[in-house]
Structure 1
Amino acid sequence: MAAIDDVARDFTAMLRLGQFEAAGERYWADAVTSIEPADLPTGTPAFVTGIDAARGKAKFRFGEGRIDELGIDGPFVTGDQFALFLDMLITDPVSGDAQPFTEIAIFTVRDGRIVEERFFYD
């Protein structure tokens, strides 16, 4: 079983390389819970449980736009959780408009897997 420090560092390294889907596949637990501040524009609820639901949410979040810039501070580890501060510039592939997007993400890890991810943003 991987220690939380190892999970946090490897997961973060994968994100820095733009490997968002691969990071989720490697570290999400089958019953992962993913929590957003509000329902997504696609109608996906703010609170979803299960790896298939997390995959769908990730596809919307990262498949709809191109991340042109990505800055990550962290991971900041405490207990069974780690946090990341993400600062992105996301370009809409249709319009070409670029929008800055900043969020704080908190991940809870048990048995080497992410069992909960919680995102904070405006």
Structure 2
Amino acid sequence: MNIQDVANKLVEYCRNNQEEKAYQELYSPEITSVEMSEPMKEVNGMDGIKKKGEWWQENFEVHGNTYSDPIVADNHFAVKIWMDTTHKPSGQRSQMSELAVYQVKDGKIWREQFFYDVDQ
């Protein structure tokens, strides 16, 4: 798959709530995932991705989300993500948008980084 194919497929899977399929098919075993803040600021490998996903499920209820079409440049692509979530421990509902930037190497996503506002 070329980078445009990888980008399109990832967005398709995310729009259909098939993230697990995306991880299995599109992600490198050496994946690095970077967030703006703790507790999952940086995780490595598929085990790290799995733990990050479990943490997310334990802490957030997702009421809705949207994914933009990907924008591709060389070996990178970006997707704007909008989410409506409730933080389970506090009960606080909020909406946010973030920019997800992915780097592809040898046809697989091997780095993802998420950019969003964090409370100061």
Question: Cα distance, 1:23 vs. partner?
Answer: 1.6
The aligned length equals: 117
Pick one of 48, 73, 80 that aligns with 1:78.
73
Match of residue 9 from structure 1: 8
Query: TM-score with structure 2 length normalisation?
Result: 0.86
Amino acid at match of 2:30: A
Query: TM-score with structure 1 length normalisation?
Result: 0.84
Match of residue 117 from structure 1: 112
Indicate the SS of the match to 1:74.
Answer: coil
**Stretches of structure 2 lacking an aligned partner (at least 5 in a row):** none
Question: Cα distance, 1:20 vs. partner?
Answer: 2.1
Answering whether residue 28 of structure 2 is matched by residue 33 of structure 1, we say: no
Amino acid at match of 1:27: L
Match of residue 100 from structure 1: 95
Answering whether residue 56 of structure 2 is matched by residue 57 of structure 1, we say: no
Amino acid at match of 2:86: T
RMSD (CA atoms): 1.8
**Stretches of structure 1 lacking an aligned partner (at least 5 in a row):** none
Question: Cα distance, 1:25 vs. partner?
Answer: 2.4
Question: Do 2:59 and 2:89's aligned partners in 1 also have CA atoms closer than 8 Å?
Answer: no
